Amino acid sequence: MTTDSDRRRIVIALTETSPVPRLWHAAMARHAESPADLLTLFLQDERWLRAASLPFTREFPRSGGRPTEFTHERAREVGQETARQAKRLIEQLADKAKTRVIFETVLQPDRGRLIELIGEYQSILIAHDAITALPIYVHLVELGCHIELIGSPADNDEEEHGSPEDD
């Protein structure tokens, strides 16, 4: 019989800008210390959709250049594509590590779904420190899980979305 204490999860909380490999490795380090189910939680940022509804919202490219209109379609497209890329990357990393991982996508305000996935477990949540700026961070804290924040790499932002072989 499985008890609550056995229901442990290591949750990798990803957003659209998270450094996936770094968070994965942090999670794997935890997993090595104390094996548990692995869950990747992709938190779609609802603020994009809200901001995109405003007519004057512009997206400023990180690499510089002319800002472009940030439409609802663009926000959704970016969200979906980012989630797909994150999933693919996590699957590759899991293959390489010969381990199994669950991938779930959650729209940030969906608190019920968060409780279902995290709140019912003894969870260690590993996230990029940028997550603290998101409204959902408050909900995650409230769920009582242990949160481990990983800082940004120094050199450049592109590294955040590197391939699994980078390491």
Partner 1 sequence: MTPQTHRDLSVAPADLRKACDSLSLAFERSDELPTSTTLLGQQRAIDAIRFGIQMANDGYNVVVLGRPGSHRHGLVDELVYEQATQRSPPRDWCYVNNFTDPERPGALHFDAGEGGIFRDAMHRLIEEMKLAIPAAFEGDDYRSQLRAIEEKTEEEVAEQWRTLEDLASDHDIHVLQTPTGYVLAPVEDGKVLDDKEFEKLPQERQKKIEQSMQELTEELQKRIEMMPKLRKRHRERVKALDRQVMEHSVSTLLLEVKTHYETMPHVLSYLNAVEHDIIENAQNFRQTETPALPFLSMDHGEVLRRYEVNLVVDNRKAREAPVVYEPNPNYPNLIGRVEHRAEMGALVTDFRMIRGGALHQANGGYLVLDLHRLFSRPFSWDGLKQALLAKRLRIESPGEAYGWVSTTTLKPEPIPLDIKIILIGERWLYYLLCLYDHEFSGLFKVAADFDDDISRDAGTVDDYARLIAQHVAEKELLPFTRGAVQRVIEQQARHADDGEKLSMDMRALDDLLLQSDYWAQQRGVGCVDVEDVTTATEKHRRRFDRLQTNILDAITRDTLLIDTSGACVGQVNGLSIIDLGQFRYGHPVRITATTRIGTGDVVDIEREVELGGKIHSKGMLILSSGLTSRYAPEVPLSLHGSVVFEQSYGGVEGDSASVAEMCALLSSLSRAPLKQGIAVTGSVNQLGRVQAVGGINEKIEGFFELCRKRGLDGTHGVIIPADNVKHLMLRDDVVAAVRDGSFSIYSVAQVDEALSLLTGMEAGSRGDDGAFPEGTVNARVEAQLIRYAKLRKAFAEPDKRDDRNDDGQ
Site residues (CB under 8 A) for partner 1?
Answer: 16-17, 45, 47-51, 53-64, 67, 70, 78, 81-82, 130, 133, 135, 151-157, 161, 165
**Residue 12: CB minimum distance to partner 1, A:** 17
CA angle 156, 86, 26 (to 5 degrees): 70
Q: Which is nearer to partner 1, 56 or 100 (CB)?
A: 56
Nearer to partner 1, 16 or 118 (CB): 16
Cα separation of 19 and 15, whole Å? 9
Contacts of 3 (CB under 8 A, 6+ apart): none
Q: Name the phi and psi angles at 54, rounded to 5.
A: -80, 140
d(Cα 136, Cα 36) in Å, to the nearest integer?
24
Q: Which is nearer to partner 1, 1 or 138 (CB)?
A: 138
CB of 32 to partner 1, least distance (A): 21
* Closest approach of partner 1 to the CB of residue 163, in Å: 9
Residue closer to partner 1 by CB (options 40, 82) is 82
In degrees rounded to 5, what are phi and psi of residue 13? -95, 115
Minimum distance of partner 1 from residue 5's CB (angstroms): 36
